[in-house]
Amino acid sequence: MSLPGAPWLARAGGELRLEGHSLAALAREFGTPLYVYSRQAMRAAARAYHQALQGRPHLVCYAMKANSSLAVLQTFAAEGCGFDIVSGGELQRVLAAGGDASRVVFSGVGKTRAEMEQALAAGVHCFNVESEGELDRLNEVALALGRRAPVSLRVNPDVDAGTHPYISTGLKGNKFGIAHDRALAAYRHAAALPGLQVQGIDSHIGSQITQIEPFIDALDRLLDLVEAVEAAGIPIHHVDIGGGLGITYTDEQPPRADELVARVLQRLDARGHGGRQLLLEPGRSMVGNAGVLLTEVLYLKPGEAKNFCIVDAAMNDLMRPAMYEAWMAIEPCTPRDAAATTWDVVGPVCESGDWLGRERALAVAPGDVLAVLSAGAYGLAMASNYNTRPRAAEVMVDGDAVHLIRQREKVATLFADERLI
């Protein structure tokens, strides 16, 4: 049976297993809802990028907004990855996990003065600047600290990534980046500011992209600018093409990391830019198919219009279906020898939008454990405590070892910082 995340996720004797570990047994041991990750899958994903870039000056910066758990960051740091961050809190996580600040790029449209000071003190590799106002603010902060801030300008290339509008980031109507036709003027402005040091150029066009062509279109527009900026006397040392490579949730067949990298390097060489350092910021493709969310069936509620399979995981645990109407495969961890019924798989949160899957053919009973597949990215990282629900525990399997990498939250900790009047 082919499942997203294979070969690490497979059935053996009917049991759904991750790296050979029974997911039903892990649910019994650690409780549900429970995120379970394959460390081997994460390592393989990182190595695919590094091997494809071997012999080229490069930096693979894991986009940690996809999954920022410390053990995940620790795994990628050990594989030689840098990190793409979008907040001061994420920088603190990188450092707590043993990451190197000099291999960090700081993205995001709304960096605060305090975050800039924090990142300059830590010595990040580069700030991916997203507006001309941010250039001025960063210059002020750097001068006040007696430093020069390394900057790359994130350019909005107006390229359609062909993905969900909420995760499309490279069009004129998106909030991200500096407009392509304003970029040369912005570079001239940056080069004139004494607190800044221009290092590179950056683009990120979206997420869950399943074709190579949008990346190449954006790269061509970046290289056009590189040539114009350098003609104006401003050296560009690196080209950052962002991330966004998709994964398989259903029947998508996104390109492999090595296929994408090969095409990018081919285009760089063809246009005479092969010697430049290349930065990539993959997120979902590093962790998405490495994780599952386990949830227990609480009740079955047949109805005239819909049949509801009510589980103990909810939209606060996994936001993607409610926010993006995302389809994620749902599999019983231990299949039943019974006829399947069509169910909407829903959670306990008091919202009609609280669903994990609609119209799924499942043979289930209360007490069964279901696995929501491809849940390693934008799962716990987007989780909340809505309805005063503690966030799930996390487990990492690594060969024969099973590690509890995050304890389940306790309700008392959720309001420990609150005060009665």
Residues 129 and 215 in one domain: yes
pLDDT-derived band at 6, boundaries 50, 70, 90? confident
Range of the domain at 32: 9-38+288-414
Q: Is the pLDDT of residue 164 over 60?
A: no
238 falls within a domain? yes
Residues 170 and 296 in one domain: no
Q: Which residue has the higher pLDDT, 279 or 168?
A: 279
Residues 331 and 230 in one domain: no
Per annotation, catalytic residue among 61, 81, 309, 350: 350
CATH code for position 199: 3.20.20.10
pLDDT-derived band at 1, boundaries 50, 70, 90? very low
CATH code for position 328: 2.40.37.10
Residues 213 and 154 in one domain: yes
Which has the minimum average pLDDT: 115-129, 151-165, 310-324? Answer: 151-165
251 falls within a domain? yes
Residues 267 and 319 in one domain: no
Q: What confidence tens digit (pLDDT) does each residue in 306-350 have?
A: 999 999 999 999 999 999 999 999 999 999 999 999 999 999 999
Q: Can 81 be counted among the known catalytic residues?
A: no
pTM of the predicted protein model: 0.94
Average per-residue pLDDT for the chain: 94
At residue 206, the pLDDT reads 85
Residues 131 and 237 in one domain: yes
| Domains: count for the chain | 2
Distances (CA, A) of 350 to 119, 315, 391: 40, 10, 16
At residue 174, the pLDDT reads 60
- Determine the Cα–Cα distance for residues 225 and 181; give it in Å rounded to an integer: 9
At residue 162, the pLDDT reads 55
- Determine the Cα–Cα distance for residues 392 and 372; give it in Å rounded to an integer: 14
Which H or E run includes 364? none
Q: What confidence tens digit (pLDDT) does each residue in 63-99 have?
A: 999 999 999 999 999 999 999 999 999 999 999 999 9
Distances (CA, A) of 323 to 160, 219, 246: 21, 30, 18
Residues 234 and 298 in one domain: no
Residues 124 and 257 in one domain: yes
